[in-house]
Amino acid sequence: MKVLVTGSAGFIGFHLVEKLLKAGNQVVGYDNINDYYDVNLKYDRLKETGILRASIIQNELVQSNKYPNYTFIKADLTDKPILEDVFKKEKFDIVINLAAQAGVRYSLTNPEAYLKSNIEGFLNLLEACRNNPVKHLVFASSSSVYGANTKLPYSEHDSVDRPISLYAASKKTNELMAYTYSHLFKIPATGLRFFTVYGPWGRPDMAMALFTSSILNNQDVNIFNNGNMFRDFTYIDDIVEGIIRVMNNIPVSSTKSLDANDNEAGSLASYKVYNIGNSTPVKLMDYIEAIEKTLQIPAKRNYLPMQPGDVFHTYADTSELQKDVGYKPVTKIQEGIDAYVRWFKEYYNFS
């Protein structure tokens, strides 16, 4: 199949592109390579897939020198004419949208970035799918949509009407927009609510990178809410496996009526939302101790209060995903941390 992956220079996008290519798919990567975090990491990910920095020309497709079935374009989803042109020329079977302005805390100080990228950019993508029909649109949502919910584990049938960050609100908006376009224009669409993804080539602003870097550099490890938080940490390989299974599982429309207990199934829309996580929450302090164990270095702990926009607990109910596509994460937390630390030390030149 021919697959468009937006956000292909990002953490999840990079790993997904490699797996799709190795499975024989034809892939087009699309990324604006913004400077939310170090662009060198993004260019190094691209280099791993045969896209050399020197070969990249803004708004032009370039060919990988490693995979003959891979091309990449540096472009922004908010540039609607460029996006429409790529869709018309490439005629995609599948679109996987991972492009977004990420980060909960960053949304507190730079709200405009989230409206432009996550709302305007996503609207342009939906319009492109409308004008150039595709078999399936898979898009990234987030566990952040559960906001102030206290019922655990988080279920797709729970209300998500209380976001506590603009990032979360933008992701809930994406779900509503995709549902509307699916209903109106018959675009099969599936949203994936990601739960704290980690692993090699991970983002430097995520907890794993911050903790590992601070310990190796003998700096304070900032621990919010005194470490009394739980996260459903999910290893990157399990996430990518889930995305590919979902990609091949195109939702069908339902004639069931909407009601308070079944708010995702019930209209003529070919639309579905899934949680995708590990379903095994880990206490933040246990996570830090696992990193200490791998590094064999104790952390200098700096305890801080809860930060605005943070939630106390994330825990994914993935029973729907398991039932529909057989999703079952297999990577244990210590195994995943070991793999990440090996990569981190090699990439950042720690002996």
Of 114, 146, 154, 167, which is the active-site residue?
167
Flag whether 40 is in a domain: yes
- As a whole number, mean pLDDT of residues 189-216 equals 96
The CATH number that applies at residue 151 is 3.40.50.720
Q: What span, in angstroms and rounded, lies between the C-alpha atoms of 347 and 308?
A: 32
| pLDDT confidence bin for 119, thresholds 50/70/90 | very high
pLDDT score for 263:
53
Flag whether 65 is in a domain: yes
Flag whether 167 is in a domain: yes
- Has residue 291 got a pLDDT over 50? yes
Q: What is the mean pLDDT of the chain?
A: 93
Question: Would you call 167 a catalytic residue per the annotation?
Answer: yes
Flag whether 219 is in a domain: no
Flag whether 74 is in a domain: yes
Flag whether 12 is in a domain: yes
pLDDT score for 348:
96
Flag whether 161 is in a domain: yes
Both tokens of 100, joined, read 């977004």
According to DSSP H, which parts of the chain are helical?
11-22, 39-48, 80-90, 106-109, 111-114, 121-131, 166-185, 207-216, 236-247, 284-295, 319-325, 333-347
pLDDT score for 228:
82
Q: Are 166 and 274 in contact (CB under 8 A)?
A: no
% the chain with pLDDT above 70: 96
pLDDT score for 260:
45
**How many other CB atoms are found less than 10 A from the CB of residue 27?**
27
Flag whether 106 is in a domain: yes
Domain that holds residue 248: 2-197+234-277+315-330
**Bridge-based pairing state of the strands 234-235 and 197-198:** parallel
Prediction pTM value:
0.93
Task: Give the Å distances, CA to CA, from 336 to 20, 184, 212, 225, 285.
Answer: 21, 42, 13, 24, 16
Count up the domains in the chain and report the number. 1
